[in-house]
Amino acid sequence: MNSRTVEVLVGVFVLLFLAAMFVLAMRVSNLTSLSGGDGYTLVAKFENIGGLKARAPVSASGVRIGQVESISYDPETFQASVVLRIDEAFDQFPLDTSASIYTAGLLGEQYIGLDPGAEEDFLVDGEEITYTQSALVLERLIGQVLFSRSGGD
């Protein structure tokens, strides 16, 4: 096998590898929506975040507008503090916007939904969303149902 053929074939091999990496990066993984740097941040405090994870989507009216950047525990207010990173284009959320934790489908992953309020001033970078609703914890729900049933009978 002369060296010219060998070199051409190895070149084709490298090209195929780059094509495979392109497919894996762009079509298979979530690399395209990985704009972690830009956008502005908002903070929301919840009583219970349930199964919310970092990089969970943040949606408004069902449309994804950002993702959860980090989750931490605030020992002073005894609440979970969630930092959301919102796309630059959506910077006009009123001050009384509420953030709730929903579940996608019945057993799907949890995400944060933002419901805009009616104030005229907008939330800026780093501000806190005051109205929050925690995730639905199944055990508490069952406990409430049992409690209300035994109380009613």
Partner 1 sequence: MTGALRRLGAGFIGALERLGRASIFLFQLLLSLGTLGRRFELFVRQLHASGVMTLSIVLVSGLFVGMVLALQGYNTLVGFGAEESLGVVVALTLVRELGPVVTGLLFAGRAGSAMTAEIGLMKATEQLSGLEMMAVDPFARVFAPRFLAGFLALPALAAMFSAVGILGGHLVGVEVLGVDTGAYWSQMQSAVGFTEDVVNGLIKALVFGFVVSWIAIFEGVDCVPTSEGVSAATTRTVVYSSLAVLGLDFVLTAIMF
The verdict on 27 binding partner 1 (CB under 8 A) reads: yes
The verdict on 17 binding partner 1 (CB under 8 A) reads: yes
Unique residue bearing structure tokens 């709730």: 100
- Least separation in angstroms between residue 144's CB and partner 1 is 28
- Least separation in angstroms between residue 35's CB and partner 1 is 13
The verdict on 51 binding partner 1 (CB under 8 A) reads: no
**104/111 Cα distance (integer angstroms):** 7
Helix (H) or strand (E) holding 19: helix 3-22
The verdict on 28 binding partner 1 (CB under 8 A) reads: yes
- Least separation in angstroms between residue 66's CB and partner 1 is 14
The verdict on 15 binding partner 1 (CB under 8 A) reads: no
Closest CA to 67 of 82, 46, 48, 50: 82
* Residue 27 DSSP SS3: helix
The verdict on 36 binding partner 1 (CB under 8 A) reads: no
Residue type, 38: D
Considering beta carbons, is residue 20 or 141 the nearer one to partner 1? 20
- Select from 2, 4, 9, 68 the one that contacts partner 1 (CB under 8 A): 9
Considering beta carbons, is residue 13 or 131 the nearer one to partner 1? 13
Q: Which tokens sit at 93?
A: 């959320």
- Select from 2, 3, 61, 92 the one that contacts partner 1 (CB under 8 A): 3
Going edge to edge, which strands form the sheet with 63-74? Answer: 128-129, 40-46, 79-86, 63-74, 57-60, 110-115, 98-103, 131-133
* Residue 20 and residue 62 in contact, taking contact as beta carbons nearer than 8 Å: no
Summarize as ranges the residues that interact with partner 1 (CB under 8 A): 1, 3, 6-7, 9-10, 12-14, 16-17, 19-21, 23-25, 27-34, 55, 57
